[in-house]
């Protein structure tokens, strides 16, 4: 279902770009915005009380956290916040590269929870567990879009910030040769 939202949003943004809206004139820019839309929807589930059964909720996501991970409630809230920050970062051109790289890492870190949920037969939203192959395919799709956006985005703004935080020391200039030995 969420993949349909991702692909539909991508096609809508790209169509708007084809109509002349410069923000969406490229596939990667449209993909960044589509991923942001998807993340707004998925992140909302992190904050929905377990009593709400009309959509995935906080309880569903806590159940997916492998038992080895401490503080599963806090981890679910944290990943929801990271998804929201990633979504915001994707729509701002200056932070798009950093957001896409961060989301790539987040999607990799979330993969074990999806594998655990499938192998432990954790129900999702009161339904049967999602099969492992489908869960992995979904994560690969999200990873692919994030990597595509990162590879297409300009990393220069992030480099400038890193340079301000950690400026390089000026190199010593060699003494001019005098011609005498």
Question: Is the CA virtual torsion 145, 150, 152, 154 positive or negative?
Answer: positive
Average pLDDT, the chain: 88
Q: Which of 14-28, 106-120, 162-176 has the lowest mean pLDDT?
A: 162-176
pLDDT in tens, 48-101: 887 887 788 898 899 999 999 999 999 999 999 999 999 999 999 999 999 999
Where residue 96 falls (left for φ over 0; alpha for ψ -120 to 50; beta otherwise) is alpha
Residue 170 has a pLDDT of 59
Residue 42 has a pLDDT of 92
Residues 6+ apart with CB under 8 A from 11: none
State the pTM of this model: 0.83
Residue 124 DSSP class: B
Q: How far is CA 74 from CA 15, 56, 58, 71, in A?
A: 39, 17, 10, 5
Q: Residue 23 CA to chain centroid, in angstroms?
A: 20
Residue 174 has a pLDDT of 61
SS3 label, residue 86: helix
Residue 171 has a pLDDT of 60
Angle at 29 between CA 77 and CA 157, to 5 degrees: 75
Structure tokens belonging to residue 156? 């220069």
**At 79, phi and psi to the nearest 5?**
-65, -30
pLDDT in tens, 104-137: 999 999 999 989 988 998 887 778 888 889 989 9
pLDDT-derived band at 163, boundaries 50, 70, 90: low
Q: How far is CA 45 from CA 53, 55, 93, in A?
A: 11, 7, 26
């Amino acid at each position: 279902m969420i993949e349909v939202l991702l692909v539909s949003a991508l096609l809508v943004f790209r169509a708007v770009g084809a109509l002349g809206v410069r923000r969406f004139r490229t596939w990667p820019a449209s993909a960044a915005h589509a991923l942001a839309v998807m993340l707004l929807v998925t992140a909302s589930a992190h904050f929905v009380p377990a009593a709400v059964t009309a959509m995935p909720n906080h309880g569903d996501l806590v159940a997916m956290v492998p038992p080895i991970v401490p503080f599963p409630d806090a981890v679910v809230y944290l990943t929801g916040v990271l998804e929201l920050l990633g979504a915001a970062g994707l729509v701002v051109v200056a932070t798009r590269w950093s957001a896409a790289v961060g989301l790539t890492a987040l999607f990799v870190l979330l993969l074990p929870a999806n594998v655990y949920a499938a192998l432990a037969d954790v129900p999702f939203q009161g339904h049967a567990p999602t099969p492992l192959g489908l869960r992995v395919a979904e994560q690969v799709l999200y990873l692919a879009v994030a990597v595509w956006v990162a590879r297409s985005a300009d990393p220069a703004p992030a480099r400038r910030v890193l340079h301000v935080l950690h400026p390089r020391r000026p190199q010593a200039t060699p003494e001019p040769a005098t011609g005498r030995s």
